[in-house]
């Protein structure tokens, strides 16, 4: 039992230290909040994407933008969608084209200039993420990436990146969901307080 407690303590310390590093990105986080607010004010929507656990985070955050994050804040839905929303579209695209295009096809169908693309990737090197980011640049859709492990290739392609300084996938994902919640909370505050 003692060994388990030590491991738990070590992982909690690592989690806390990685979260503390987020403070170094405070200016970039403020920029992202302001950009999202401006895009929403112009009638845009938020398009999320990610693979694996990051796909689940993308769905999680899209749901909270549409429904609500905090039970005591009743507000209008914020338009948000995940680009990997349904299995029929995913499997059709994977089968008829290839997995590298699963986000690209949906993005091409739904994106417009005042939208914002938020990609969530622990490595920043997934081909499907890189393809949709390149398309966002072509179509002038602003892109934000939640990244880890140095940011990978996505860091060079996206307009704004929030890179978690860790090599540990679990720690990166924990920070990504924290960032998503914090950013949504602040966007909610602006939307509710400005009424």
The residues with which 19 forms a beta bridge, in sequence order, are none
* Mean pLDDT, the chain cut into blocks of 10 residues (195 residues total): 89 96 97 97 98 96 94 92 91 93 96 97 98 98 98 98 97 98 95 73
pLDDT at 86: 86
pLDDT at 85: 77
pLDDT at 192: 83
User: Could you give the 3-state DSSP secondary structure of residue 20?
Assistant: helix
pLDDT at 1: 64
Containing domain of residue 123, as a range? 2-193
Alpha helical stretches, state H, 22-168: 26-41, 53-66, 87-96, 102-110, 127-138, 154-157
Domain count, the chain: 1
pLDDT at 74: 86
Q: For position 128, which CATH number holds?
A: 3.40.50.10490
């Amino acid at each position: 039992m003692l060994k388990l407690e030590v491991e738990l303590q070590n992982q909690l310390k690592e989690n806390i230290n990685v979260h503390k590093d987020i403070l170094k990105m405070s200016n970039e986080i403020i920029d992202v909040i302001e950009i999202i607010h401006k895009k929403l004010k112009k009638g845009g929507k938020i398009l999320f994407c990610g693979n694996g656990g990051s796909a689940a985070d993308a769905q999680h955050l899209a749901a909270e933008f549409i429904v609500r994050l905090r039970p005591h804040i009743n507000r209008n839905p914020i338009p948000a969608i995940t680009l990997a929303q349904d299995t029929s579209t995913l499997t059709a695209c994977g089968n008829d084209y290839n997995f590298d295009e699963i986000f690209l096809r949906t993005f091409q169908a739904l994106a417009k200039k005042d939208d914002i693309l938020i990609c969530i990737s622990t490595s920043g090197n997934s081909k499907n993420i890189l393809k949709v980011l390149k398309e966002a640049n072509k179509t002038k859709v602003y892109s934000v990436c939640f990244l880890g492990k140095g940011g990978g290739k996505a860091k060079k392609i996206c307009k704004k990146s929030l890179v978690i300084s860790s090599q540990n996938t679990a720690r990166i994902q924990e920070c990504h969901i924290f960032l998503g919640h914090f950013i949504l909370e602040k966007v909610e505050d602006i939307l509710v307080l400005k009424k």
